[in-house]
Amino acid sequence: MKVTWWGVRGSVPVPGKDTVAFGGNTACVSVEFGERIVIFDAGTGIRACGNYLLAKHKPVEATIFISHTHWDHIQGFPFFVPAYIPGNRFVIGGPVSDVGGKTIRQAMELQTRYEHFPVRIEQLGARIEYVDCTEGIIEEERPTITACRVNHPATCLAYRIEHEGKVFVYGGDHEPYRNVYRDGDNGEEIDEEFLTELDANVEEQNRKIVDFCSGADLISWDAQYTKDEYRNKIGWGHGWYEYNMEFAQKTCAGHIVFTHHDPARTDAQLNEYEKRLRPSADINGFNLDFAREGLVVEI
C-alpha cells in the first residue's frame, strides 16, 4: 500500500510563510494498492490529490471515506476536478450524523447548495454513489475495510484497511473518551458507585480503539494539541501528543504519523515537537513522523 498525505492541517486551511514546509491544507490521505484507490477525507488537500490522480489514471475511480462532515474534512470536494469529468466514478462513504440525522449524501450535497457554491454536486459529470457507513465491517475482503466510532462532537469514524497482510488505520478526529461526570462538568453530586461504573465503561471504550489499531503497520492519527493546550480544549474532539505516544505503544503499531496539526502550529514548532518526541518512539519500538503534505509511506 502506498499512503500519501495531501492535507495535514486541522480546522482551517493556513497558507503562509510559517506553514510552507508542513503545508496548510486540511485533511486528506490517499491509499493506492493494486488497481484500487481509497481516499480518506476531502479537506482542501483533495484538490492536489485530484490533480495527481488525473495525471495517472483514465478513468479515475476511487472510494472516498469521510471520517465526519466537519468543514475541514469535506470542503475540498467541490475542487476535486476528477468529479467533474464524465466517465470517472466515485463511491463516497461516511457516517450518518447523530446530530440532525443527515446521511453522508445529504451532508455532502448541503455544501454545494447555491447559497454556498455555484455548482451543485448533482450536476457533476462523474458518477457518484453514496454509502452510509457504521461501525463494523464495510468491505469483507480484498481489502478488508472496517470502521470504529471515535469520540468527537460529530459522529466520526476511524477506518482500518487490511490488504495482503498489511494494515493501515486512518484515525479521523477524536480525543480519548472520558468520564464527564468525574470531571464535574454538570456540577451535580453523583453517587461514587455510578462514577466507578462509568470509569470502567470509559476505559472499555478507549481499549476498543486500541484494539482497533492493534498491530497496524501504519496509523494516521489526530495530534492537534500538546497536553497543556488540551486542558483548555477538553471536549473539542482532538488528541494530544503525550497521550498519543502512550497510545501508539499500546497498539504495538510499527509506525504512527501525527496529523491534523493545529492551525496555529508553525513549521518550526512542528519540527521541534517531532524532534523532541522521536527518541521516546525509538525506545518504545515504533517510528514517528509528523505529517507533511506530500509525505509518502509504503507498507
Binding residues for Zn ion, rule: CB under 5 A, are 10, 70, 72, 173
Nearer to Zn ion (CB atom), residue 263 or residue 294 = 263
Q: Are 154 and 70 contacting, i.e. CB atoms less than 8 angstroms apart?
A: yes
Distances (CA, A) of 13 to 27, 72, 107, 220, 264: 9, 8, 20, 19, 10
Least distance to Zn ion, CB of residue 145, Å? 21
Q: Are 34 and 2 contacting, i.e. CB atoms less than 8 angstroms apart?
A: no
Nearer to Zn ion (CB atom), residue 88 or residue 224 = 224
Distances (CA, A) of 3 to 14, 198, 236: 23, 38, 27
Least distance to Zn ion, CB of residue 236, Å? 9
Least distance to Zn ion, CB of residue 217, Å? 24
Least distance to Zn ion, CB of residue 243, Å? 17
Nearer to Zn ion (CB atom), residue 40 or residue 212 = 40
Least distance to Zn ion, CB of residue 204, Å? 24
Strands 218-222 and 166-170, by their bridges, are parallel
Nearer to Zn ion (CB atom), residue 32 or residue 72 = 72
Residues with Cβ within 8 Å of 143's Cβ and at least 6 positions away in sequence, in order, are 33, 36, 161, 162, 163
Least distance to Zn ion, CB of residue 35, Å? 30
Burial class (CB in 10 A: 0-12, 13-18, 19+), 3: buried
Nearer to Zn ion (CB atom), residue 22 or residue 286 = 22
In the complex, residue closest to Zn ion by CB: 70
Alpha-carbon distance of 146 to 133, in angstroms, equals 9
Q: Per the structure block, which three cell numbers stand in for 65?
A: 471515506
Q: Which residue has the cell 501508539?
A: 248
Nearer to Zn ion (CB atom), residue 30 or residue 88 = 30
Least distance to Zn ion, CB of residue 200, Å? 27
Q: Which of 212, 205, 297 is nearest to 251 (CA)?
A: 212
Strands 127-133 and 89-95, by their bridges, are parallel
Least distance to Zn ion, CB of residue 68, Å? 6
Nearer to Zn ion (CB atom), residue 44 or residue 88 = 44
- Hey, what long-range contacts does 49-58 have (CB within 8 A, 24 or more apart)? 49/4, 49/6, 49/80, 50/79, 50/80, 50/81, 50/82, 50/83, 51/81, 52/4, 52/6, 53/82, 54/81, 54/82, 54/85, 58/87
Q: Are 138 and 102 contacting, i.e. CB atoms less than 8 angstroms apart?
A: no
Nearer to Zn ion (CB atom), residue 72 or residue 162 = 72
